[in-house]
Amino acid sequence: MDHDIRGSVSGKTITIIVILISIVGLWILGVVYILEQIGEEEGDQDLVIYAYESFQSYGLGPSVIPQFEEKYGVNVTVVTPGDVGTVLGRMNMEKEDPIADIVIGVDNSMLFKAVDMDLLEPYKPENFYRLDPTMNFDPENYVVPFDYGYIAIICNRELMHERNLDVPEDLLDLADPQYDGQMLLLDPSTSSTGSSFMIWAASAAGEDYSSFFEDLADNANGHVLGSWDAMYSQWSEGEAPIAISYGLDTAYEMMWYGTNNTITVVPDHQGYRQIEGAALVKGADNRELAQKFLDFILTDEFQSQVYNNYMLPVVPGIEIDQLFVEYGQDAEVHIEPTTHQVKINYDDWNEAWRQAFYN
């Protein structure tokens, strides 16, 4: 009797337990699904930016990214694979399923490459009217310019004096044999600064650019770096007294260190402005948020911070530090070619550079 009752009760209990487990299981699955959906929606609000290394290391990124995150309540991930040439190479490998939404650093020397590789999607910000018209190097609106700077020859004052070297006054002076082994240059295939310098040098030399590249190769003596960061680090450590950088280098040194050991040379009749831009990646997951970032680039909040990038704002009326005015170097005459001229001549210039430096 007692045995039969216990068996009957146990059977009912088991049935109830099974039902409860099924209900709880379905509830858990429902909660997990909801959380996954929420996570996906929040993930869709994360903006991924590909940029060159110094965008983060020299302060522009850390200055403006938090402002954008706070303004829109989103998270921004900045990935720095290397200099701009390296960034474009990575984007090309990911073209079928892009990770980045925005690419930063596509300038007037590298734009044609990005367009030819079909990596970008045109976008014209609603506040584009704020841009200085002379800075708009892309009539098809693939990029939004955000800063600019003059490519410059920089010299370590002490080393130049110790080695009894003349400070070059002209870009073509770098062919002088006195500079044999005394300079650091950049690879134009990986560095946007290097690409800009190659174009600047070819423009200054004219039809004799191949010969000029050979003289540069002799004087560089193998000191060709893959990125501006690597080059500037070696130059700062005294690897060579001469390097290629930007017209605000002396001003920046004065701002942060109060010293004046850098001689910055921008020949007045040979100005080359590197104009940097940001662009919407073709096939970006977060297209709408990416467009908001491109709008943000031309606001006062962003433009007032570009000094952290050794560069100048592209929106007129932004206050510039007095040290930049006093110590910055610029030029009256500009020799930078148009984007179209760069496109049709770049392969020839680059082949001549390769022949001079690597054969």
Average the pLDDT over 47-61 and give the result.
91
Average the pLDDT over 171-190 and give the result.
96
* pLDDT of res. 45: 58
Sketch out the chain's domains with CATH numbers.
47-148+274-325 (3.40.190.10), 151-272+335-358 (3.40.190.10)
Q: Residue 148, SS3?
A: strand
Per-residue pLDDT reduced to its tens digit, 72-91: 999 999 999 988 999 999 99
Average the pLDDT over 258-264 and give the result.
96
Q: Which helix (H) or strand (E) element contains residue 41?
A: helix 2-43
Statement: residue 192 has pLDDT above 70: yes
* pLDDT of res. 57: 84
More confident: 11 or 228: 228
pLDDT band per the 50, 70, 90 thresholds, residue 54: confident
Per-residue pLDDT reduced to its tens digit, 117-135: 999 999 999 999 999 999 9
pLDDT band per the 50, 70, 90 thresholds, residue 59: confident
Statement: residue 8 has pLDDT above 60: no
User: Is the distance from CB of 303 to CB of 317 less than 8 angstroms?
Assistant: no
Statement: residue 6 has pLDDT above 50: no
Furthest C-alpha separation in the chain: 115
pLDDT band per the 50, 70, 90 thresholds, residue 297: very high
Q: What is the DSSP letter of 225?
A: E
∠ CA 137-190-291 to the nearest 5 degrees? 45
Residue partners of 246: CB distance under 8 A and separation at least 6: 149, 150, 151, 152, 193, 264, 274, 310, 311
Statement: residue 2 has pLDDT above 50: no
Per-residue pLDDT reduced to its tens digit, 134-153: 999 999 999 999 999 999 99
DSSP calls for 154-215: EEEHHHHHHTTPPPPSSGGGGGSGGGTT-EEEE-TTT-HHHHHHHHHHHHHHGGGHHHHHHH
Mean pLDDT of the chain, nearest integer:
89
